[in-house]
Amino acid sequence: MAIFNSISAYIEVLRQRRAQIIAERRKAALQIGVEAIALVKLRIQTTGKNAENEQFKGYSTNAILVGSSSFDNQSNAKKIFGKRKNKKADWVTLPSGARLQVLVGGYKKLRELDGYQAGYVDFTRTGEFWRSIAAQIESEDNERTLVIIKARDEKNQAKLDSFATKRGNILLLTSEEQEILNEISANRILKIFE
């Protein structure tokens, strides 16, 4: 910081820097939100752990009904639903006439058959859910800017709400992630005073 000739000059510089902090707060708050999303997503997709560093409850292994549209990768669906349907499997005919296979092993098995990892819950299949998660300003005033993290659309917000019901708020930060973000935020303010 520079040397000042008077207290009033010093106070004026402090006022200018405070104004700069306030002016940049909105952008900085959104940036912290984006960085929070990146940290949470990285942790969940690489470890399957929640904010308490515990594994999320695993994918369901209860039998489910599946059809070819249950698969994202249609070549994997053809292995089961192609010309030679799995005769050993149990099949159910719906009132509509659609025939569905009873998939023993549940959603976990469906993920495996469709080529996705199933060793831990990562809330990732097509990637659409994670792409929809965004930081948004909910409110702001002269003292603070409140950023929330949520899905951009109703479909993925419904998924997020369902995940929260089953497994708790998946978007919570670990204490280490909070420390990282606090350090980033403090460094941003310190740069203004350099």
For 147-192, the pLDDT digits (tens) are: 999 999 999 999 999 999 999 999 999 999 999 999 998 888 777 7
CA distance 164 to 156: 12
Q: Write down the pLDDT at residue 11.
A: 87
Question: Which residues make beta-bridge pairs with 92?
Answer: 100
- Phi/psi-derived region of residue 24, left when phi > 0, alpha when psi is between -120 and 50, beta in every other case: alpha
> 175-192 and 7-47 are packed helices; what angle lies between their axes, rounded to 10 degrees?
150
Is the pLDDT at 83 greater than 60, yes or no? no
Residue 113 is inside which H or E element, if any?
A: helix 106-113
Residue with the bigger pLDDT between 101 and 86: it is 101
Task: Answer for the pair 66, 105: CB distance below 8 angstroms, yes or no.
Answer: no
Is the pLDDT at 98 greater than 60, yes or no? yes
Q: Is 148 helix (H, G, I), strand (E, B) or coil?
A: strand
Is the pLDDT at 16 greater than 90, yes or no? no
- What is the average per-residue pLDDT within 36-63? 96
Q: Write down the pLDDT at residue 40.
A: 98
What's the one-letter identity of residue 193?
F
- Give the residue among 153, 110, 148, 106 at the shortest CA–CA distance from 129: 153
- Give the residue among 178, 48, 182, 191 at the shortest CA–CA distance from 124: 48
Q: Write down the pLDDT at residue 153.
A: 97
Q: Write down the pLDDT at residue 189.
A: 76
